[in-house]
Amino acid sequence: NAGVTQTPKFRILKIGQSMTLQCAQDMNHNYMYWYRQDPGMGLKLIYYSVGAGITDKGEVPNGYNVSRSTTEDFPLRLELAAPSQTSVYFCASSYSSPYEQYFGPGTRLTVT
Amino acid sequence: DAKTTQPPSMDCAEGRAANLPCNHSTISGNEYVYWYRQIHSQGPQYIIHGLKNNETNEMASLIITEDRKSSTLILPHATLRDTAVYYCIVRSSGRGYGGSQGNLIFGKGTKLSVKP
């Protein structure tokens, strides 16, 4: 199993640009999550999904959108990028318990 | 959810056991203790969890006191690759899901430095 994969690893965006961060898992997990981690800080939940077609907001959803058309994929869309969205983005998934989460390697995003 | 308290940093000699403490004096009966770690620049990694019995897996052992107010994560033979920030998280683990239930609150954790 590849586990949780994320692309791209790094990206630099200009203010106002948009992009999609890709996340995929091959463990047949129902739950998937998107977090952001600012330097020296803990993780904050952006959006989560409990299954295909079902998504919900987390702690910091503003400026982001998600979709979950398949069990495997959970892309995160940034619209109109702002410098405040400079962060490391982690995707995670879990099967039965919301708290045994398996994380991807992260995407480092800089908005200038 | 119960709050956890961990020392900000610890050192451990390579090959020795690393014992990482966590206080969770307000833990309630249905709350589990979870441990994650984050190696620099990587995504967090699940290590182990437990309710009241001691648990062991291929990575670590978790010792929970009888009153459940504290726990210790044990890495039996620490290596340089175990250098990371270790997070103790206390949350209920029900089947239901909603709102912030999926939010893992990592706090500041303990920075473990394994030295040769």
Do B113 and B40 meet the contact criterion of CB atoms below 8 Å apart? no
Tokens of B78: 């620490």
Residue B82 is given by DSSP the state: G
User: Which residue among A48, A59, A104 sits closest to B43, beta carbon to beta carbon?
Assistant: A104
A chain contacts of residue B49, beta-carbon cutoff 8 Å: 99-100
Answer whether residue B99 shows pLDDT above 60. Answer: no
Binding-site residues on chain B for chain A (CB distance < 8 A): 32, 34, 41-46, 49, 89, 91, 93, 97-98, 100-108
Answer whether residue A48 shows pLDDT above 80. Answer: yes
**Taking residues A45-63, what's their average pLDDT?**
92
Q: Quote the mean pLDDT of chain A.
A: 93
Record: contact B97-A42, CB cut-off 8 A = no
Record: contact A98-B101, CB cut-off 8 A = yes
A chain contacts of residue B35, beta-carbon cutoff 8 Å: none
B chain contacts of residue A31, beta-carbon cutoff 8 Å: 97, 102
User: Which residue among A31, A33, A97 sits closest to B93, beta carbon to beta carbon?
Assistant: A97
A chain contacts of residue B97, beta-carbon cutoff 8 Å: 31, 50, 98
One-letter identity of residue B95? R
A chain contacts of residue B32, beta-carbon cutoff 8 Å: 99
Record: contact B34-A99, CB cut-off 8 A = yes
Residues forming beta bridges with residue B9, ordered by sequence position: B111
How far apart CA B44 and CA B93 sit, in angstroms, is: 19
pLDDT for res B103: 65
Record: contact B108-A100, CB cut-off 8 A = no
**Taking residues A71-91, what's their average pLDDT?**
96
pLDDT for res A32: 93
- Please compute, for residue A59, the number of CA atoms within 13 A of its CA located in the half-sphere on the CB side: 15
Do B24 and B69 meet the contact criterion of CB atoms below 8 Å apart? yes
How far apart CA B102 and CA B93 sit, in angstroms, is: 10
**pLDDT tens across B36-53, in order?**
999 988 999 999 999 998
pLDDT for res A98: 67
Confidence of residue B74 (pLDDT cuts 50, 70, 90): very high
- Size of chain B in residues: 116
Confidence of residue B34 (pLDDT cuts 50, 70, 90): very high
Record: contact A105-B43, CB cut-off 8 A = yes
Answer whether residue B26 shows pLDDT above 60. Answer: yes
pLDDT for res B96: 45
DSSP per position, chain A = ---EEEE-SEEEE-TT--EEEEEEESS--SEEEEEEE-TTS-EEEEEEEEETTEEEE-S--TTEEE--SSSSB--EEE-S--GGG-EEEEEEEESS-TTS-EE---EEEEE-
Answer whether residue B80 shows pLDDT above 70. Answer: yes
Q: Is B109 helix (H, G, I), strand (E, B) or coil?
A: coil
Number of CB atoms found within 10 A of residue B23's CB: 17
